[in-house]
């Protein structure tokens, strides 16, 4: 078990260095997890944070005014037609919220971590809009490999000089977060 965790951490580090060359930011608490596009992976990320005793607030519908009390924001990258439909939110409206969140996070100088753990299933046309909007504007990207088969996240990271860590399994996210938070 420890050998697998160590191997995953080494793989993540190598992939981070290979993808963009930029240094990963130091993340600090308090941290907000939000999910413009209402992709359900936000809840899973929250649970994984709990596993490593990283205190986070999960609010998939956070507004820009909510960001002032945080130092780091994790943005779940992807869109869910079901989630948006159930909430009665139109995609364009949600994209505007995402844009406003990113602008406010930048203004407040928050560390912005973009996370895409939905894999290939979260690479449809709705998600594409959120990927194109969010990924180029984060300080750090964490992406599951099967969601990057076409190299889109690698390209976005390289073009924006954004550190990128590609993980093979969602559970490896805990190793990456431990490193980012110095846990």
Q: Comparing 30-34, 51-55, 77-81, 119-123, which segment has the lowest mean pLDDT?
A: 119-123
- Cα distance between residue 134 and residue 78, in whole Å: 9
Q: According to the model, what pLDDT value does residue 88 have?
A: 78
Structural domains in the chain plus CATH codes = 2-181 (3.40.50)
By the 8 A CB rule, do 105 and 62 touch? no
For residue 138, is pLDDT > 50? yes
Q: What is the pLDDT of residues 64-119, one digit of tens each?
A: 999 999 999 999 998 777 776 677 778 899 999 999 999 999 999 999 999 999 87
Q: What is the pLDDT of residues 149-161, one digit of tens each?
A: 999 999 999 999 9
For residue 11, is pLDDT > 80? no
Phi-psi region of 29 (alpha: psi -120 to 50; beta: other; left: phi over 0): beta
Sign of the C-alpha dihedral computed for residues 7, 47, 24 and 101 taken in this order: positive
Q: According to the model, what pLDDT value does residue 1 have?
A: 47
More confident site: 118 or 135: 135
Q: pTM of the predicted model, to two decimals?
A: 0.86
Expressed in percent and rounded to 5, the helix, strand and coil fractions of the chain are: 55, 15, 30
Q: According to the model, what pLDDT value does residue 75 have?
A: 96
- Cα distance between residue 13 and residue 136, in whole Å: 20
Q: How far are the Cα atoms of 29, 113, 115 from residue 69, in angstroms, in the given order?
A: 10, 16, 21
By the 8 A CB rule, do 9 and 179 touch? yes
Q: Comparing 24-28, 94-98, 103-107, 132-136, which segment has the lowest mean pLDDT?
A: 24-28
Q: What is the pLDDT of residues 171-181, one digit of tens each?
A: 999 999 999 99
């Amino acid at each position: 078990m420890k050998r697998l965790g160590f191997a995953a951490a080494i793989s993540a580090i190598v992939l981070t260095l290979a993808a963009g060359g930029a240094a990963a930011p130091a993340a600090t608490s308090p941290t907000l997890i939000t999910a413009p596009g209402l992709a359900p992976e936000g809840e899973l990320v929250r649970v994984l944070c709990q596993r490593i005793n990283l205190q986070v607030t999960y609010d998939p519908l956070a507004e820009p005014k909510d960001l002032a009390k945080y130092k780091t924001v994790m943005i779940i990258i992807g869109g869910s037609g079901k989630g948006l439909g159930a909430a009665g939110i139109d995609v364009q409206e949600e994209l505007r919220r995402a844009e406003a969140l990113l602008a406010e996070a930048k203004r407040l100088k928050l560390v912005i971590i973009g996370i895409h753990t939905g894999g290939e299933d979260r690479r449809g046309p709705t998600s594409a809009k959120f990927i194109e909007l969010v990924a180029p504007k984060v300080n750090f990207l964490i992406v599951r490999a099967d969601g990057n088969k076409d190299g889109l996240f690698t390209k976005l990271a390289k073009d924006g000089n954004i550190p990128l860590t590609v993980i093979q399994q969602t559970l490896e996210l805990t190793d990456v977060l431990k490193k980012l938070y110095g846990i």
